[in-house]
Amino acid sequence: MQPSTDKAPPISVLHEDLLFNIFFENTYLDFDNFESSFDTFFFRERIPDGGTEALITAQHCSLVSRQWRSIYLSSPSIWGRLISVDDLKRKTENWRNEVMARTGEASLWVYGHLRDDETLHFVFPFLEQNWARVQMLFLIDNNPLEATQTRLTLADGQKRWAFLKEPAPQLQRICITMSSPMDEAYLPPARTLFSNNAPPLLRHFAVSDRIPQILSRRNLSSLSLSSKIPTEEFLKMLQEMPELLSLKISGDLISKPNQEACARVILPKLRMLFFGGGVSFLTAGTILQSITPSSDCCLCAPLESERLLDSGEYKQYETGLATFVLPYLSLHPPLSAVTLTLRNSCVVLQSGPAFVITFSARPPSVSSPAPLLKVLICSGAFSNVSTVRVENTWSTSPQDFIHIFPEAFPSATTLIATDDIIQTLLQLDRNRMSTLLPSLVTLEVRNGTYSPGDHGVKESPHEQFLKLRKDLGLPLSVLNLGFIVNNFPVDLDYFELEHPGLLVKWSLKFVSEFKGNSNFEEYRCGDGHPERLRFASLIMELREEPENMLFGVYIDWNYY
């Protein structure tokens, strides 16, 4: 018997107030997540490219039924949250005007990227006319010079942003990121922001190269600072912000070597501290030693230095680092994956999306190598990590990281590394290799590009690593070669007898680590078909397929 088609779907019988709450919830955007999911290399806030789709969802929902359309059209508060610059840019001028009209007198959330003239021409007039209604402003300047091929005069740029000098009675959050110091000159001076009247509701302040007014500071819960001011002045300013939950410093402050200890700053609610954008070890060390946060404060400090650090400077940094890291890791020990990235003379350790700390790969000779890291290892802070990824970025001497790697990850079952990193590990003596990653089961080789020059070696580093682990009585169970074109595509059919039981995985297509393993092939050595591991032969077959210019990876067919 067919079910009745007369019965209304459950959602259609919901009370209008409940439907409104659902529609209103669909407009919610986690601005805290936008500000914290920054790129640790460029250290910029991020908004999803192409918009958030909240406006598209509202548009579609308003067409479902007369009841739903009536709710949407009678609810300016919904439309007020949907001023997505990126979504509106893709629409016609008439539709943009319609959306803006539907906001009525409601509070406004305005957010997105400033990319081109079309965007600028509708965003700034709207903000100028409706600034008093803006509750959330989150704009990222994506270098409009490239899009427009013209640069505004200083006077025209300042006129465009002049609305910031007007009172903002409803403003709760402001984040403006400019693409260059030249563009920052368009913004009003800090003393003139909001007509020198602190917005009573303001809790989050992040404006390029601007410091919040004194009257705004006490209630702030998040602050992003890029102004180059003396460290002592900055710390005194922090004393006026006891409610801070999140602090981001994206430009180096003016710090003096061997300066006297600065005044202590108690921030009992601080849960997140970011460093980046050129912050030096000297500045970071001074701030870390001066701030007392909550014991649950997460630190994100992807620092780097092109010079050998001064012993006193680095010791000060590690002393301050310990006051943040030891309490935090005791509460939140890494349980899954850790990434080690080599940058110049530094090693950046990352666990999860936010916890990032930096050690010198070549600490001053007058001190013991990375003493804090030794404390962390002895405390078992990384004892439950299951996956270790090691990446080499701009480091001419990957062996520099050797002293911080062994013994740190006794429970790791997966190592993800490039062949140059594996070659570095092979330089350890056998006794040390026998204690390295004792629980290791899987080796994933992730070479960034294929290098024909490396093809001439008798055995690749990962082949040597497999053999050594077997000789030490610590054989691996899985070898994942990833995109085979990048990972020394030689014939490995000898694995059939050399490594029986080893599961070999590979892909002939570029596989993004974010898309799972659906494109992987695999073969277990000893199953009787060693020809499946003749990767050089497979590459020769690919030579006949012109489409194998895969994702910009060039295959030098003449080499084969």
- Long-range own/partner contacts, residues 4-12 (CB < 8 A, 24 or more apart): 12/65, 12/67
Cα 344 to Cα 395: distance, rounded to the nearest angstrom: 5
Q: Which pTM was predicted?
A: 0.81
For the chain, 560 residues long, give each residue's pLDDT as a single digit of tens: 455 455 656 666 778 888 888 888 888 877 665 554 444 333 344 555 545 678 888 888 888 888 899 999 999 999 999 999 988 887 888 989 999 999 999 999 999 988 888 888 899 999 999 999 999 999 988 754 544 556 778 899 999 999 999 999 999 999 998 888 788 889 999 889 998 787 899 999 999 888 887 777 889 999 998 888 888 989 999 999 999 999 999 878 888 776 666 779 999 999 999 998 789 899 999 999 999 999 999 999 998 877 777 778 888 899 999 999 999 999 999 988 999 888 877 888 999 888 999 988 765 554 455 578 778 888 888 889 999 999 887 655 656 566 566 578 889 999 999 888 898 889 888 888 888 899 999 999 988 654 544 445 578 899 999 999 999 999 999 999 988 775 566 889 999 999 999 999 998 776 555 445 557 899 999 999 999 999 887 777 766 665 554 443 444 433 33
Report if residue 202 sits inside a domain.
yes
Residue 456 lies in a domain: no
Nearest alpha carbon to residue 414 among 441, 451, 380, 449: 441
Q: Name the 3-class secondary structure at 108.
A: strand
Q: How would you label 60-89 residue by residue, b for 16+ Cβ within 10 Å and e otherwise?
A: ebbeeeeebeebbeebeebbbbbbbbbbbb
For position 47, what pLDDT does the model report?
56
The label of the residue with tokens 């974010």 reads: 514
Task: Please answer whether residues 194 and 213 qualify as being in contact, where contact means their C-beta atoms are separated by less than 8 angstroms.
Answer: yes
CB 85 within 8 A of CB 110: yes
Query: Residue 246 has which token pair?
Result: 């999140």
* Packing angle of the helix pair 117-130, 93-102 (nearest 10 deg): 20
346 alpha carbon, distance to own chain's centre: 18
Concatenating the DSSP letter of every residue in 4-52 gives PS-SPPGGGGS-HHHHHHHHHHTT---HHHHHHS--TTT------TT--
Which of helix, strand or coil describes residue 196? helix
pLDDT of residue 337: 93
Q: Which residue segment(s) compose the domain that 201 sits in?
A: 11-225
51-71 pLDDT tens trace: 567 888 888 888 888 889 999
Buried b (16+ CB within 10 A) or exposed e, 437-456: beebbbbbbbbeebeeeeee
Q: Cα–Cα distance between 159 and 453 in angstroms, integer?
A: 57
Contact (Cβ atoms closer than 8 angstroms) between residue 64 and residue 57? no
Identify the pLDDT of residue 517: 53
Task: Convert the pLDDT of each residue in 296-350 to its tens digit.
Answer: 999 999 988 777 777 788 888 999 999 999 999 999 999 889 998 888 778 889 9
| 541 three-state secondary structure | helix
Picking from 196, 202, 206, 303, the residue whose alpha carbon sits closest to that of residue 243 is 202
What's the pLDDT at 453? 46
Single-letter residue type at 481: L
Q: Which amino acid is at 391?
A: E
| Dist CA 329 CA 331 (whole Å) | 5
**Is position 392 within any domain?**
no
Contact 502, 478 (CB under 8 A): yes
pLDDT at 276: 82
CA 539 → CA 390, 482, 494, distances in Å? 27, 14, 18
Q: What is the C-alpha separation between 201 and 349, in angstroms, rounded?
A: 37
Q: What is the 3-state secondary structure (H, E, C) of 495-528?
A: HHHHCCCCEEEEECCCCCCCCCCCCCEEEECCCC
Q: Evaluate whether 329 touches 381 at the Cβ level (below 8 Å).
A: yes
Q: Could you tell me if residue 70 is inside a domain?
A: yes
The CA radius of gyration of the chain, in Å to the nearest whole number, is 28
Give the tens place of pLDDT for each residue, 16-35. 888 888 888 888 877 665 55
In a domain, 267, yes or no: no
What is the pLDDT, as a whole number, of residue 514? Answer: 43
Closest CA to 44 of 32, 52, 53, 34: 34
Tell me how many degrees the CA angle 540-482-470 measures, rounded to the nearest 5: 100
- Check residue 526 and give left, alpha or beta (phi > 0: left; psi -120 to 50: alpha): left
d(CA 480, CA 505): 5
Domain count, the chain: 1
Segments in 50-149 forming alpha helices (H): 54-61, 66-73, 76-80, 85-89, 93-102, 117-130, 144-148
Say if 378 falls within a structural domain. no
